[in-house]
Amino acid sequence: MSIRRFRIALLSAVVATAVAGCATTTSSTGRKQYVGAVSQQQLDQLGAQAFDQTKAQKALTQDGRQSAYVRCVVDAIAAQLPDGQRRAWEEAVFVDKNPNAFALPGGKVGVYTGIFDVAKNQDQLAAVIGHEIGHVIERHHDERITRAYGAQAALTVAGMLAGSRYGDGAAQSVSQGGGMLLQTTFLLPGTRVQETEADIVGQRLMAQAGFDPRQAVDLWQNMIAATNGARPPEWLSTHPDPRSRIGELQKRADQLMPMYEQARAAGRKPRCG
């Protein structure tokens, strides 16, 4: 066996071992997931590191009312999480005009002050935070790391196979072209699925916490107005088409109203601001 073929065989064995170490699980919406490239402890550590880095790089708000407002919404949402996810989540409000927010493994939530321009009330802010926390509890970070790891490993094998047959130039072409192909047909579509799932989970969480699920629709209408509808083509985007998204949110809001009314009857009536 040539050295080149030996390397290919060895790398293929490594990829097979990595895939075997991953696990198949099912999300709360019934979707099959491939996870396990990293442990939950490692995910939590990565989340904490990323959160600390963001706090070191971005200015934190000095407005105590904004911090208390976000903390109130985060606490109300977190109280509705499954037992294994119900923890004291840490939140931070960053001074940034970008209307954005994020949540990370390890119980971290970051909100940019720009989000207050589109989330006009506590219910709309709950739609944002519920969505972001939904990414965490549905193991989307784990899933994306696992998928990216597998995609990169497969691309490396393909490049080596092309190089062994057609030379180094072919290997480089496969690496460059294959990277774009994997990004547009494998990694990004999966992320859009996750965004939809986070919408479903987040809207359910806000209803359980006593926030009006219909306000998720108003939030995205505000978001479209704020961005003038500007976005990349859906096939190159990590988010679903906004108008399609609004339609789905509206359907689910109608279905979630009994849950919302039950939460209010049970005394879950957040007063965050």
Q: What is the DSSP letter of 185?
A: I
Q: Which of 22-31, 80-89, 168-177, 207-216 has the lowest mean pLDDT?
A: 168-177
Structure tokens given for 170: 């072919």
- So what's the pLDDT on residue 40? 85
- So what's the pLDDT on residue 273? 80
Where b means 16+ CB within 10 Å and e means fewer, 223-233 reads: bbeeeeeeeee
191-213, pLDDT tens digit by residue?
Answer: 788 889 999 999 999 999 999 99
Q: Report the alpha-carbon distance of residue 47 to residue 33 in Å, rounded.
A: 20
Structure tokens given for 239: 């988010």
* Catalytic pick among 91, 132, 138, 143: 132
Q: Report the alpha-carbon distance of residue 127 to residue 212 in Å, rounded.
A: 9
Query: For residue 273, how many C-alpha atoms fall within 13 Å in the half-sphere facing its CB?
Result: 16
102-129, pLDDT tens digit by residue?
Answer: 998 999 999 999 999 999 999 999 999 9
Are residues 253 and 213 in contact, defined by beta-carbon separation less than 8 angstroms? yes
Is-catalytic flag, 248?
no
Structure tokens given for 148: 């990216």
| Degrees, nearest 5: CA angle 32-203-22 | 20
